[in-house]
Amino acid sequence: MDFKDAAARLRAKREGEPEEKPAKETDFAESYRLRGKMIGVLLRDARLHAARSVEACAELLKVTPQEVEAWEYGESVPSLPQLELLAYYLGVPISHFWSTDTLEASQGRHIDIQTEYLALRDRMVGALLRQAREEIGMTVEALSQACAVPVERIQQYEMGELPVPMHELSMMAGILKQNMNYFLESSGHIGNWLAVREEWKHFSSLPEDLRQFAAKPVNMGFIEIALMLSQMPTEKLRRVGESVLDITR
């Protein structure tokens, strides 16, 4: 400690001011270690949530399973292009890997609920099948004759005792004048995910200029106005259009 430091400390003590502490230097090694650990946690979380194996992820990126495991344990860190491929493969946004929330904490792990989900959905599909049949006044016997599925099996489907094979469900849906959306899951995490994927499919088919416009947060006000206009009664919408024409004349 030199004379100037000692004088400054003495002056601060006399004036009752707290001593100035030297700024703590950043421990970059520790910061990088913690960031690497967090990326590993989020990577493992996304992989387990998607029910993918370490080997499958390694094959995707043409690296060894040991390297993927090292990423998950924070012993090494993947590059951004590698994370981009993993995000696509695991069905998560790339921002997941620099967030602080895990999918398991917010949504639960899909693999843990598969048995219960399938049993519940089989009962729901069966109930909807019966509802659709009764809505058009068709008997089980008539449906059986129309689709060549035994009466006993249709009854088991409707009770949720047997899962309905997709090709038979598609045939019966057509006979009952319903499309497949009628039977789809419409709530819960899986239902929401399916709905978002369908919405994204339609969004992706839009012209590029419309996609770019909708993707910019600054344009959200215009989209909200369009939504409000789409919900207006026809007569009111017509009056709005006439008012706009009057203003522009």
Whether 88 maps to a domain, the answer reads: yes
Say if residue 124 is in the same domain as residue 100: no
Say if residue 85 is in the same domain as residue 122: no
Quick: pLDDT tens for 129-147.
Answer: 999 999 999 999 999 999 9
How would residue 1 be classed by pLDDT, with cut points 50, 70 and 90?
A: very low
Quick: pLDDT tens for 28-66.
Answer: 788 888 888 999 999 999 998 888 999 999 999 999 999
Say if residue 226 is in the same domain as residue 172: no
Say if residue 97 is in the same domain as residue 126: no
Which of 46, 75, 107 lies at the terminal end of a domain, its last residue? 107
Task: Report pLDDT for 237.
Answer: 78
Task: Report pLDDT for 18.
Answer: 52
Whether 16 maps to a domain, the answer reads: no
Structure-block tokens of residue 226: 């369009």
CATH code at 57? 1.10.260.40
Structure-block tokens of residue 136: 């058009």
How would residue 188 be classed by pLDDT, with cut points 50, 70 and 90?
A: low
Which of 57, 85, 107 lies at the terminal end of a domain, its last residue? 107
Could you give the residue ranges of the DSSP H alpha helices within the chain? 3-15, 28-49, 54-61, 65-72, 80-90, 103-107, 114-135, 140-147, 151-158, 166-175, 188-204, 208-215, 220-230, 234-248
Say if residue 103 is in the same domain as residue 120: no
Query: What's the rounded Cα separation, in Å, for the pair 11 and 13?
Result: 5
Say if residue 75 is in the same domain as residue 120: no
Which of 65, 87, 107 lies at the terminal end of a domain, its last residue? 107
Residue 51, sorted as left (phi over 0), alpha (psi -120 to 50) or beta, turns out to be left
Range of the domain at 247: 207-249
Task: Report pLDDT for 20.
Answer: 54
Cα–Cα nearest to 61, from 73, 49, 79? 79
Quick: pLDDT tens for 8-38.
Answer: 554 555 555 555 555 566 677 888 888 889 9
Asked whether 214 and 223 are in contact (CB, 8 A), the reply is: yes
Number of domains in the chain: 3
Whether 223 maps to a domain, the answer reads: yes
Query: What's the rounded Cα separation, in Å, for the pair 61 and 71?
Result: 13
